Chains A and B, each alone.
Chain A
Amino acid sequence: MIAIIDYGAGNLHSVKKAFNHLEKDSLIAKEVKDLNRADKIVLPGVGAFGSAIEKLKESGFYDVTYNWLSENKPFLGICLGMQMLFEESLESKNIKGFGIFKGKCPRFKKGKVPQMGWNQINITRESPLLKGIKDKSFFYFLHGYYVEVEDPDIIRGTTDYFITYTSMIEKGNIFGVQFHPEKSGEIGLKMLNNWTEAC
Chain B
Amino acid sequence: MLATRIIPCLDVDFGRVVKGIKFKELDNVGDPVKMAKEYNEQGADELTFLDIGASYKSREILIEVVEKVSEEVFIPLTVGGGLRSSEDLRKALNSGADKVAICTSAIENPSLITEGANIFGSQCIVLSIDAKRHNGAWYAYTHGGRNNSGIDAIKWAKEGEKLGAGEILLNSIDKDGTKEGYDLELTAKISGSVNIPVIASGGAGNPQQMVDAVKVGKADAVLLASLLHYGEYTIKDIKKYLEKKEICVR
Contact = CB atoms under 8 A, between A and B. Distances in A.
Interface of A: 9-11, 13-14, 17-18, 20-21, 46-48, 111-120, 138, 140-142, 160-161, 182-186, 188-189
B74 interface: yes
Contact of B96 (A9, A14, A48, A138): A14
A197 B70 CA distance: 24
Interface residues of B, number: 30
Contact of A17 (B3, B96, B195): B96
B119 to A, nearest CB: 9
A118 B120 contact: no
Interface string B113-126: 00000001111100
Top 8 nearest A-B pairs (CB, nearest first) are A138-B250, A118-B250, A118-B3, A119-B2, A116-B197, A47-B121, A117-B5, A112-B197
B220 A185 contact: no
B2 A21 contact: no
Given A9-B121, A17-B71, A117-B3, 20 more contacts: A10-B93, A10-B120, A10-B124, A13-B94, A14-B74, A21-B74, A46-B120, A46-B121, A112-B195, A112-B196, A112-B197, A113-B196, A115-B2, A116-B220, A117-B45, A118-B5, A120-B1, A141-B2, A142-B123, A160-B1
Contacts of B196: 112-114
Interface of B: 1-5, 40, 45, 70-72, 74-76, 93-94, 96, 98, 120-124, 166-167, 195-197, 220-221, 250
Contacts of B250: 118, 138
A20 B96 CA distance: 14
A13 B74 contact: no
A18 B74 contact: yes
19 contacts: A10-B121, A10-B124, A11-B93, A11-B94, A17-B71, A17-B74, A17-B96, A46-B120, A112-B195, A115-B2, A116-B123, A117-B2, A117-B3, A118-B2, A118-B5, A182-B74, A183-B75, A183-B76, A185-B40
